[in-house]
Amino acid sequence: MNANQFIKAVSQLQGWRECAFLLALAERSFPNYALFADAVGLKTGAKMRQLLDISWDLLQDDSGEATIPQLLVKLEGLSPDVEAYDAYGVYPAFDFCQLLEQALLNRLNPSRHRASDASRLATATVVSFIEVSEGDELDNDELVRLLDHHPLIKEDKAFQRDLVLSLKRQRTPTESFIEKLRGDAVNGGVSNLGIALGD
């Protein structure tokens, strides 16, 4: 699947597939939130984990949709204010919150396509992290080369591509399929930035 095919495939996601795509992107970036919350002494990691778990449960349970507005309010309360922190970690943490928000909003308003923007946001989180951590001394050409060959970018692309392919092939959101999808997204607790909760 080349870049154009990928973009087209993401733009065609709808219904439960789009929601699962958004949740998987959020799941992959959850450690970025948890580590940031931990680092600055916010006691919100466990609450956010619970919110993400509830969001996954909603994928197979339409009866929970009435609770989504409350979940969105909770999410807003747990989201960090990027202006309030000097630490770079607030940005990937906030990006995670935006991904989870898109997944919840997808359930409220499934007719509005959100997966393409979310896909770009997830990749932008990785690009920005590499620029900050490794790109300081580089000129534009060197930075482009660094990003082109960076293992984190390659992993992000592979993860998103495999995610779209498995969603396209799957007819219904069976419990075993969602469990596997979620397990792949958890990635042993390693986020899209290559950082793990045990670090």
pLDDT tens-digit readout, 28-62? 999 999 999 999 999 999 999 999 999 999 988 87
In sequence order, the 6+-apart residues with CB closer than 8 A to the CB of 185 are 23, 24, 25, 27, 28, 159, 163
Provide the 3-class DSSP secondary structure of residue 170. Answer: coil
Q: For the beta carbon of residue 43, count every other beta carbon within 10 angstroms.
A: 8
Q: Give me the pLDDT at residue 199, please.
A: 61
Token pair belonging to 122: 């997830």
Buried b (16+ CB within 10 A) or exposed e, 70-106: ebbebbeebbbeeeebeeebbbbbbbbbbbbbbbbbb
| For helices 140-149 and 151-169, angle between their N-to-C axes, nearest 10 degrees | 50
Residue type for 17, please? R
Residue 25 has a CB neighbour count (10 Å cut-off) of 28
Query: Which value, to the nearest 10 degrees, does the dihedral of the CA atoms of residues 12, 15, 18, 24 take?
Result: -150
> What is residue 65's predicted lDDT score, i.e. its pLDDT?
79
pLDDT in tens, the chain (199 residues): 898 999 999 999 999 999 999 999 999 999 999 999 999 999 999 999 999 999 999 988 877 778 999 999 999 999 999 999 999 999 999 999 999 999 999 999 999 999 999 999 999 999 999 999 999 889 999 999 999 999 999 999 999 999 999 999 999 999 999 999 999 999 999 999 999 987 6
